[in-house]
Amino acid sequence: MRHMEILKRGISLIALLLLSRGALYAQMHKEDLPVRDTLPAAVKTAVREKEESLPGTFRTDMKSLQGKVLSPVGENDPVKFAMTRPGVSGGAEGFSAFFARGGNLGNNLFTLDGVRIYGFSHLLGLTTSVPSEAVSSMTFCVGGFGGEQGGLTASHIALSTADDPCENLQASASVSNTFLGASIEAPVVKEKASVRLAGRWSPFSLEYKLLKNGFDKAGQMPSLQLDVWDFLGTVNWQVAPKHEMKLTGFGSRDGYGLGFPGTDYALGWENAMGHLAYRYSGTRTLLKADISLNHFTNQMEHAARVQGDATRLLLQSQIQELTCSVRAEHALGDGNWFLSEGVTYQQKRMSPGSAKQSDAAVQVIDNVPFTENISRPVLSSAFVEMNGNLGPVSLMANVRGNYYRNRAERRNDRYEGFAAEFSARARWHIRETIGLEATFDNRVQFDHTLEGTPLGWSLDLMVPVTNQLPPERAKQVYGGVFASLGGHAITLGGYWKKMDNLVYISDAMALFTAAASGWSDLALVGKGCSYGAEFLYEGRKPEIGMDWTVAYTWSRTDRSFPQICGGSPFPARYDRRHVLNANATWKGLTASLSLQSGHWETVAAGQYIGHLSEEDIVVEYYSHPNNWQMPLYFRMDLGYQFVFRSRLNATHPLEQSLTVGVYNLLNRHNPSMLTYDTGTKTWNLVSLFPIMPSLTWRVSW
């Protein structure tokens, strides 16, 4: 389809802009905030144990990621961190798509303060849409899910902003050819209330315009417009010694336009979220109540002249969501056990694949109604969870019940049913330095993501559960051994996962045509299986300022659909058998390595002669989907950070850091996709990212 080829050219164009980038970035340095202490000693010990090294869970603060995970645009990116953990396979190079333990891209959940962010990619997936300056910590989970975690079958990236009011006024500004940004945090009432704000805007359009005016004298370069920005704000209020309120607001937009003589293309997505939370921290009870409003839109537009008439096609999908939840956690007995329970009510309005078209007779496209399929799913959930310690053994088990009803306008798109979920985990310290761990998950997901753009953009269509497309289900078992000695920690384990009701699009290109509103006719329902071994080694030598991480995964993932190859299994597209990621930091010097098996593409296995209207024609034969493996993926990154400290005045310190980074140090052209040239009838490997230097200047005061 021609306009998709144009979009691929647009990606390459943006990649060329990034080659000449030199970042100048200023960011506020935040001190660690004190943790409010309200529980007795036994309860505090149990809480700390519950937060440490849980099976399948990785926790980190955003400050510790600076300089350790280099993205193509040099941003501090939590998604890129998640892609270096065991059990995770990356999608196309440099983008946000990732696949956890054999799941699809749409089986991953991304939340901010507990609210789902549907469009979490920025700059076509090169970085994340949430400004990291305003984020305190992140948690990445691939197994042993908690009872409050719903709507996923593969993984959960949870970003959290600070819960406590800040004590001092702090501000920052950023200047680079990637983003212009600013952030501020300030106390409103000392030790009672504060506000934190952060935002970014990309100047790519201005840079491209200067490049075009300076080098395109013949006018052959297309016009390019980018509208990329984000905003995150929080208000923390300590109402009383045990009562807290927090208001979170988040918005982002990614808009891209390409203009050629006689035709224009545009695509984009945007988020808008508001969240109000109440917390009560008693001596033995923690109570949480939340309400949030969420809006997500993605769209694609094509304007051209057909037979002399101006035509315009706009494809759009929207999700509007209201969520209310209440959760309580109680310390039992001497504080070694915790009982949690909660309820959630969520209602949505979804209009996937809506389309409208206008011609020369219509002057304003907004006057043309959409051809859309509207669904109004409602999900009510309740869970109970118990976790605690029996001597050297820590245990967790939860059960979650879900009642789902989709009140769709089309009868075929309706669905009503009940589904239960169950998760458990155990960690046994056989000795002080060695132990065993295991998790089990039986998960259900009540929406499907129709993956038409596996690069990790936010243009994949998200559709509700219907009678034709029942809820996705996954059963997963993990078992392993862990050991630690001094500054060294090792985890080795294996998993097995079975997936049901997976959705496969028979013609992904048709998702972005006028037929998109009939997405249910393109979807096939099948199964998947994944199993593998995971290894993680982490080391630290604080006396010399050095730490390192090595993560390796061997896995095998397949798919099977009754309508394809008679139901015989075939490899999942991002079934990378070997994935190795390593990172080391020493006194400001950071080096990282990524080595992965190539992903799978579908190519013709042969040709034969057919007959049509008394003419011989050449017909290509395809053995099965994903029948050809791409070459090995290998990349090295390098960075170094210089730190300068001084003082603005007697009471305000000033810290500056200059970070030099190089993405893809060896300039290896790793193939990201496979395209077919209809003129030469040949397949071509496309590489997007050669060596990409970056320069970052951070200032804090």
Q: What's residue 451's pLDDT?
A: 76
Q: What angle do CA 158, 113, 340 make, to 5 degrees?
A: 85
pLDDT tens figures, 3-31? 444 444 444 444 434 333 332 222 222 33
Residue 158: pLDDT over 90 = yes
Q: What is the DSSP string of 418-478?
A: EEEEEEEEEEEEEETTEEEEEEEEEEEESEEEE-S-TTT-S-SEEEE--SSSPPEEEEEEE
Would you say residue 405 has pLDDT above 80?
yes
Examine the pLDDT at 51 and tell me if it is beyond 80. Answer: no
The band of 204, judged by pLDDT with boundaries at 50, 70 and 90, is confident
- What is the mean predicted confidence (pLDDT) over 493-515? 77
Q: What is the pLDDT of residues 626-680, one digit of tens each?
A: 888 889 999 999 888 888 877 776 667 777 777 788 888 899 888 877 777 767 7
Q: In this structure, what is the dihedral angle of CA atoms 476, 428, 383, 352, given to the nearest 10 degrees?
A: -30
User: pLDDT-based confidence at 172, cuts 50/70/90?
Assistant: confident
Q: Which domains does the chain have, with CATH numbers?
A: 2-220+237-351+391-700 (2.40.170)
Copy the structure tokens of residue 391: 């001597």
Q: Distance between CA atoms of 267 and 476, rounded to whole angstroms?
A: 37
Instruction: Read off the pLDDT of residues 427-465 as tens digits, 9 standing for 90 and up.
Output: 999 998 899 999 999 999 999 888 765 555 666 778 888
pLDDT at residue 21, as a whole number: 35
Percent of the chain with pLDDT over 70: 80
Span of 413-417, 568-572, 593-597 with lowest mean pLDDT: 413-417
Q: How far is CA 249 from CA 198, 243, 273, 458, in A?
A: 11, 21, 6, 20
Beta strands 615-621 and 653-663, pairing class: unpaired
Please tell me the predicted confidence (pLDDT) of residue 452: 65
Gap between the Cα atoms of 356 and 578, Å rounded: 45
Q: What is the pLDDT of residue 523?
A: 81
Q: What is the pLDDT at residue 199? A: 93
Q: What is the mean pLDDT of residues 543-552?
A: 92
Question: Which of 29-43, 337-351, 515-529 is the least confident region?
Answer: 29-43
Higher pLDDT, 264 or 336: 336
Query: Which residue's structure tokens are 């923390």?
Result: 236
Contact at 8 Å (CB) between 683 and 602?
A: no
pLDDT beyond 50 at 354: yes
pLDDT of residue 50: 41
Question: For residue 244, what pLDDT band results from cuts at 50, 70 and 90?
Answer: very high
Residues found in the chain? 701
Q: What is the pLDDT of residues 458-500, one digit of tens each?
A: 667 788 888 888 999 999 999 999 999 888 999 999 999 999 9
Give percent above pLDDT 90 in the chain.
41
DSSP string, 162-203: --SPPSS-EEEEEE-SS-EEEEEEEEEETTTEEEEEEEEE--
Two tokens at 533? 């071994």
Q: What is the DSSP string of 353-380?
A: EEEEEE-TT-S-GGGSPPB---B-EEEE
The verdict on pTM exceeding 0.85 is yes
